[in-house]
Structure 1
Amino acid sequence: MDARKLQSSLGVVLDNKPGPITFTALFRKLGAKPDRAAVLGQAAAAYFPRYGILENPLRLIHLMGQLTHESGAFAYMEEVWGPTPAQTRYEGRADLGNTQRGDGKRYKGRGPIQITGRANYRDYGKRLGLDLEGNPNLAADPAIGLRIALEYWSVNRLNALADSDDLVGITKRINGGTNGLEDRRAQVAKLKGWVG
């Protein structure tokens, strides 16, 4: 991926070597507060190459568009708990692995992709070598949350859908439906203008 258009859009040095400075600026431009943007930018510089995100501009565009939507422009690393009627339905959901009383709230959405459910915390914790099931709050740490999001992206083969510019397909794999599709589309369109 040629990063110079992105770097120009962000007002950073045009060295075509996107790293912490470029990604911190990107998270800032997408709405993250400075401290959070810096943590996310460092994590992105470390992990985006490992997950092939920089091999095609559409991968970066779709990943960041989805994460921007899911996290409320990186304002929320943890789902705000009401509980709402939808949140009460997390309790007892076998498909999420929520088998113990209180699992719905304990394993609520966290991180920029809003991982949800005991089974997902267990699975992604094992994949990353972290005890997310025993320490679910770890998923709300921005750097860890970004790693979870990237692992989720990889497991669900979302690079291939991004390469096809399949916004609806990606949204369904992340959300289970098309909730927030218009905002996701707007985020992706904005990023296309910046990245190319």
Structure 2
Amino acid sequence: MTVLELKAVACTTTENAQTFLPYLNDTFDRFNILTPCRQICFMAQVSHESGGLFYTEELASGAAYEGRAGLGNIHPGDGVKYKGRGLIQITGRANYKLLSDALEQDFISNPTLLGGKNIKQCTPDQLKYAALSAGWFWTKANLNAIADKINLLQPIDEGANLEYFKAITKRINGGFNGLEDRLHRFIQGYLSMKTNQTPSQTTAS
């Protein structure tokens, strides 16, 4: 993915796209997000969750997650400590532990390694893990398989394509919050990629 393509799909600034591009390209390689359709789907979702590659930590305090056993928050203070971080908002002690095992980093002891408020306040390591954590979640949810069903030669916002895109959204969001914005980002990303690739290269089959 190029800076221009990333800027388009993320609906972000050139500066933000340039900052995150190397970390995202590493994420694509590590988690096999390599076809145009996989990358556009991934970035449409991730850029919505992060406010255009800006936020790497949710704005709320995390207190609402306190005592949520389903998230693994079994100790006092876990809700705030393990609030949503990374480009796709990894949340809860249990997910931080799974991510720690997968990436071989101790996010339990150092949860802010996943993100430092926003792109302006992140260290290079925080940017790296903000991106990698999103790729890990994407793979854990088996979203490449759904993205592969989308036909880039058909509109994304109708028919089977829309149902596949909604399925991806639901696995990430738990519902369909921000669906229109996510679709908009997908369309912008596709149009940008289309200017540089032939239809056969942008087909997800």
Query: Into which bin does the TM-score normalised by the smaller protein fall?
Result: 0.7 to 0.9
Describe the SS at the equivalent of 2:52: coil
Runs of 4+ in 1 over 2 A off after TM superposition: 24-30, 36-39, 44-47
- Structure 1: how far apart are the matches of 2:103 and 2:13? 24
C-alpha contact (below 8 Å) 1:39/1:143 kept by paired residues = no
Let me know the Cα RMSD of the aligned residues: 1.7
Query: How many aligned residue pairs are there?
Result: 169
C-alpha contact (below 8 Å) 2:83/2:90 kept by paired residues = yes
Describe the SS at the equivalent of 2:65: coil
| Aligned pair partner of 2:82 in 107, 125, 133 | 107
User: What displacement does 1:33 show?
Assistant: 6.1
Counterpart of 1:175 in structure 2 is 173
> For structure 1, which runs of at least 5 residues remain unmatched after alignment?
1-17
Q: Percent identity?
A: 41
- Structure 2: how far apart are the matches of 1:75 and 1:52? 24
Alignment TM-score, normalising by the size of structure 1: 0.79
C-alpha contact (below 8 Å) 2:73/2:93 kept by paired residues = yes
The higher-RCO structure (CA 8 Å, 6+ apart) is 2
Counterpart of 2:29 in structure 1 is 49
- Structure 2: how far apart are the matches of 1:43 and 1:32? 16
Q: Deviations over 1:166-191 (max 9, x none)?
A: 11111111111112111111111221
User: What displacement does 1:159 show?
Assistant: 0.4
- Structure 2: how far apart are the matches of 1:117 and 1:69? 20
C-alpha contact (below 8 Å) 1:115/1:121 kept by paired residues = yes
- Structure 1: how far apart are the matches of 2:109 and 2:76? 15
C-alpha contact (below 8 Å) 2:72/2:92 kept by paired residues = yes
Describe the SS at the equivalent of 1:53: coil
Counterpart of 1:188 in structure 2 is 186
> For structure 2, which runs of at least 5 residues remain unmatched after alignment?
116-125, 151-163, 195-205
Counterpart of 2:120 in structure 1 is none
C-alpha contact (below 8 Å) 1:32/1:75 kept by paired residues = no
